[in-house]
Structure 1
Amino acid sequence: MVHVFFQGYSELSGILKDRNILRWTAMNKKNEPSVIKYLDGKKIVIDLNSEFGRTFKFAAIGMALVDQEGRWIIANNSLCKLLEYSQEELQKLTFQDITHPDDLEKDLEKVRKLYGKEIDSYQIEKRYITQSGRILWINLSGSAVWNEDGSFRYYIAQIQDITKEKEAVELLAEKESLFRGIFNSTFQFIGFLNTEGLVYEANQTALNFAGLKPEDVIGKNFWDCYWWQISPSTQKKLKKSIKKAAAGEFIQYEVEVWGRDRTPSTILFNLKPVFGESHEVIALIAEGRLIQDIVDARNALIRNNEELEQFTSIASHDLKEPLRMVKSFGQLLQRHYAGKLDEKGQQYIGFMLDAVGRMGLLIDDLLEYSRVGDELTGKEEINTQELIQEVLNLYTDLIEGKSAKIYFSELPKIRAKRVPMKLLFQNLIGNALKYQKIGELPLIKIVGEDKGSFWKFSISDNGIGIKEEYQKEVFKLFRRLHTNQEYKGSGMGLAICKKVVNQHKGEIWLESEVGRGSTVYFTLKK
């Protein structure tokens, strides 16, 4: 029997020459060796109380010595626990037995190179299959120990469990793959820039639009990329926009850029700053959306509106000219032949002049109605308190003549189209003043309320009221409930109001009681 006590790694290396392990036992007496091995009938004692023995035994990672055929000579507790085998069970196996089939060949290739002294050591990631069948990802570091005569002695394996890290990497890869799929399949052009305007990434949609490859844009200044070379002024504006975005400002504007074969197309372009934890701008997201169809439709609408306005103006003039002639000669008849006509003849002339006046009013209202439909007019901030006062100034004589009382206060500031909005209030206040009982003092109240996503206004009066069955009808073109002798008008006023409200994505309705008055409500989207 040979007793060998080793204090370090070199001593252990000199002991284990034989590959045939017969058995493994433990001794528990104080100050006696803790492990006994029998190799070819010779008893070899391994002192696990030595410095190396304690390191080997208590190492947090798996450690083992493996022979040339892959059999486990000795494995520490960490490795046994990791693989779910006891020391005795593990010694009956080879590393090939527990290696995942898909990883075996690459491991054996490294071992062959190590055995052939082509490499001194190697490191690979591979999978083991534990006793319970669980797949375990490990990082394996392998090296060989050689005898003094150059012959092979054994392999040293260090094995670290990286299953959690591998799962995390795979999950991250899945998420990255999902993100990249979305990133490249979106209809919008998307790019990532640094704060200096250098391109980090551009999605496939943006590249395909111009027939580019990633290497054509990545690492270049954004304004030097093909899309923006359409003109120096376009590049200059982009440079300035990037500086503003890098300072934390959101940028949006329409711009014409080059597509494939230098075909110009208009996009709605955005630059959005990305903020870090300290609220500093760390990157920029560039986004573009093709709006050429919208631009073409808008330009066509501009042309159509210009043509319509021109037509309306000409038609209005051409329609009014004969009316002016009829009115002029009618007035001459009334003035010069009044004494020669009987009462009925004078009455006929009166009917004619009245009809001419109503026709002139109708033409004016039609012209006004057509101009309300201009969708291209921009919105602006309007102080409705001041706007109501402007409207009331138009009705000064009527208000004073009827001793009307009009109440309003703290009306909101809104964003709307000024001219249509003035027409809206003008018609509603005009109606409230007009449709009154004889001898009744008009009382009118105007209220404006903030309803979150929209404004709500109401104009109430104490007038003659409207029957319930007509409360929707009155918003139609030319719909009148009274004769012109009772109340003058064209039947266009509330139709104009409805068109203005629709233009501002709102609703209009009224509540009324005959003889008690009416309240017209309307909303305007913010």
Structure 2
Amino acid sequence: MVATNGRFLKMNHSFCDITGYSEEELLSLDFQSITHPDDLELSKKYAIEMMSGQISSFQLEKRYIHKLGHTVWVMLSSNRYGDIPNKRLYYIHQIVAITEYKQAEAMLRENGQRYHHLLKLLPEPIAVHSEGILVYLNDAGIKLVGAVSQEELVGKSILDFIHPDLQHPAAANIKQVLMGDIMGFSEYQLFRMSGEVVEVEVCSTKVNEFMGKSVIQTVIRDITERKRTNELLRKSDKLSAVGQLAAGVEHEIRNPLTAIKEFIQLLKSRTKESSSYFDIMLAELERTLVSLFSLLNLIR
């Protein structure tokens, strides 16, 4: 119980334990004397509004200075009792110690800031989104999508950057991650701000605490060059196979055509009639051989 001037009138043992003072010591003090200086102005404001009748109750988080000198966080709920015209008023303060909660909150906030700083410096593009809505993209991610700043991207749907044909499976993957599943790398076509298409692979996982809420962290890898290299390798393999085929074809064709040429020459030497026909046959055969071997060499 607290008087309108702020002096303590009555308290239980729990309040004595929270502040470190005995009942006798508290009865000689007022709430101002044990309130943290940074919270004193707000506490006085509420007290004045209660005394004037503007409000009949309030609740706030505040700090007391423990008798030993350390800070104690509390959740204070206050209600006004008494008769305003006759100024027979007093306040009932109900207090819950929340120091451990505030310490845990501060630790989470600090860890969140460290996590935020770590993401920013990582060389691999990372997107943080809440059910598909972007809340953060690190520097590498901003560069990947071709944006100038974070503000261009925050609030946009991550699906807007994915090829329409792949948006449905991407949305299904997001739902699975929210349920706690860890998705392996999946390939997507990503649209940059300029409209250029980039081949990427992404892997997502749920993060339970990022700036005070659960989000999904998605690692993005640009695999455009890798895809191009793989395509070149596939073409190279095909060309190699064609070259081997050409070598086999040359062997299979050269021998019979050479034999035919030799037999025509033999028949020509034994037959005087229609000698010009043999010359034409040999010329055409020679031209065919030259054209065929030129083509096979070009393929190889």
Looking at structure 1, the residues matched to 17 and 182 of structure 2 have their Cα atoms a distance apart, in angstroms, of 57
Q: Give the aligned partner of residue 126 of structure 2.
A: 189
Q: Give the aligned partner of residue 235 of structure 1.
A: 167
1:210-268 Cα shifts (integer Å, max 9, x gaps): 33433211xxxx6xx2211x4x4333564676788889694534332111211211112
Looking at structure 2, the residues matched to 137 and 77 of structure 1 have their Cα atoms a distance apart, in angstroms, of 17
In the superposition, the TM-score normalised over structure 2's length comes to 0.62
Q: Give the aligned partner of residue 226 of structure 1.
A: 160
Q: 1:95 aligns with which of 24, 28, 31?
A: 31
Q: CA RMSD in A?
A: 4.0
What amino acid is the match of 2:69?
G
Offset at residue 270 of structure 1 (A) = 3.4
Matched, 1:254 2:187: yes
What amino acid is the match of 2:224?
Q
User: Is the CA contact 1:72–1:93 (under 8 Å) kept in the aligned structure 2?
Assistant: yes
Select the structure with the greater relative contact order (CA < 8 A; seq sep ≥ 6): 2
Q: Tell me which structure has the larger Cα radius of gyration.
A: 1
Alignment of 1:109-188 (within 5 A): 109-147=45-83, 149-183=85-119, 185-186=121-122, 187-188=124-125
User: Is the CA contact 1:183–1:203 (under 8 Å) kept in the aligned structure 2?
Assistant: no
User: Is the CA contact 1:207–1:214 (under 8 Å) kept in the aligned structure 2?
Assistant: no
Give the aligned length: 234
Structure 1 unaligned spans of 5+:
1-64, 275-282, 325-526
Q: 1:135 to 1:296 in 2, by over 3 A?
A: same
What amino acid is the match of 1:226?
D
Instruction: Select between 112-121 and 174-183 the one with higher mean Cα deviation.
Output: 174-183
What amino acid is the match of 1:113?
E
User: Is the CA contact 2:53–2:84 (under 8 Å) kept in the aligned structure 1?
Assistant: no
Alignment of 1:290-369 (within 5 A): 290-299=222-231, 305=236, 309=240
DSSP 3-state at the match of 1:74: coil
1:366-407 Cα shifts (integer Å, max 9, x gaps): xxxxxxxxxxxxxxxxxxxxxxxxxxxxxxxxxxxxxxxxxx
Q: Give the aligned partner of residue 265 of structure 1.
A: 198
DSSP 3-state at the match of 1:90: helix
Q: 1:158 to 1:290 in 2, by over 3 A?
A: same
Structure 2 unaligned spans of 5+:
207-214, 255-300
Looking at structure 1, the residues matched to 225 and 71 of structure 2 have their Cα atoms a distance apart, in angstroms, of 55
Matched, 1:289 2:225: no
Q: 1:268 to 1:107 in 2, by over 3 A?
A: same
DSSP 3-state at the match of 1:234: helix
1:261-315 Cα shifts (integer Å, max 9, x gaps): 112111123356x7xxxxxxxx976442112343345456666x469959x87xx
User: Is the CA contact 2:73–2:98 (under 8 Å) kept in the aligned structure 1?
Assistant: yes
Q: 1:241 to 1:308 in 2, by over 3 A?
A: same
Looking at structure 2, the residues matched to 134 and 183 of structure 1 have their Cα atoms a distance apart, in angstroms, of 35
Q: 1:110 to 1:239 in 2, by over 3 A?
A: closer
In the superposition, the TM-score normalised over structure 1's length comes to 0.38
Q: 1:103 to 1:256 in 2, by over 3 A?
A: same
The structure in which a higher percent of residues are helix is 2
User: Is the CA contact 1:183–1:190 (under 8 Å) kept in the aligned structure 2?
Assistant: no
User: Is the CA contact 2:126–2:220 (under 8 Å) kept in the aligned structure 1?
Assistant: yes
Offset at residue 157 of structure 1 (A) = 1.8
Looking at structure 1, the residues matched to 104 and 20 of structure 2 have their Cα atoms a distance apart, in angstroms, of 23
User: Is the CA contact 1:192–1:199 (under 8 Å) kept in the aligned structure 2?
Assistant: yes
1:27-56 Cα shifts (integer Å, max 9, x gaps): xxxxxxxxxxxxxxxxxxxxxxxxxxxxxx
1:9-38 Cα shifts (integer Å, max 9, x gaps): xxxxxxxxxxxxxxxxxxxxxxxxxxxxxx
Q: Give the aligned partner of residue 153 of structure 2.
A: 213
Identity across the alignment (%): 24
1:100-123 Cα shifts (integer Å, max 9, x gaps): 111111111111211221111111
User: Is the CA contact 2:173–2:183 (under 8 Å) kept in the aligned structure 1?
Assistant: no
Q: 2:14 aligns with which of 78, 83, 90?
A: 78
What amino acid is the match of 2:67?
Q
1:406-448 Cα shifts (integer Å, max 9, x gaps): xxxxxxxxxxxxxxxxxxxxxxxxxxxxxxxxxxxxxxxxxxx
User: Is the CA contact 1:115–1:152 (under 8 Å) kept in the aligned structure 2?
Assistant: no
Q: 1:213 to 1:153 in 2, by over 3 A?
A: same
DSSP 3-state at the match of 1:268: strand
What amino acid is the match of 1:254?
E
User: Is the CA contact 2:119–2:126 (under 8 Å) kept in the aligned structure 1?
Assistant: no
Q: 1:150 to 1:300 in 2, by over 3 A?
A: farther
Q: 1:174 to 1:91 in 2, by over 3 A?
A: same
Offset at residue 168 of structure 1 (A) = 2.0
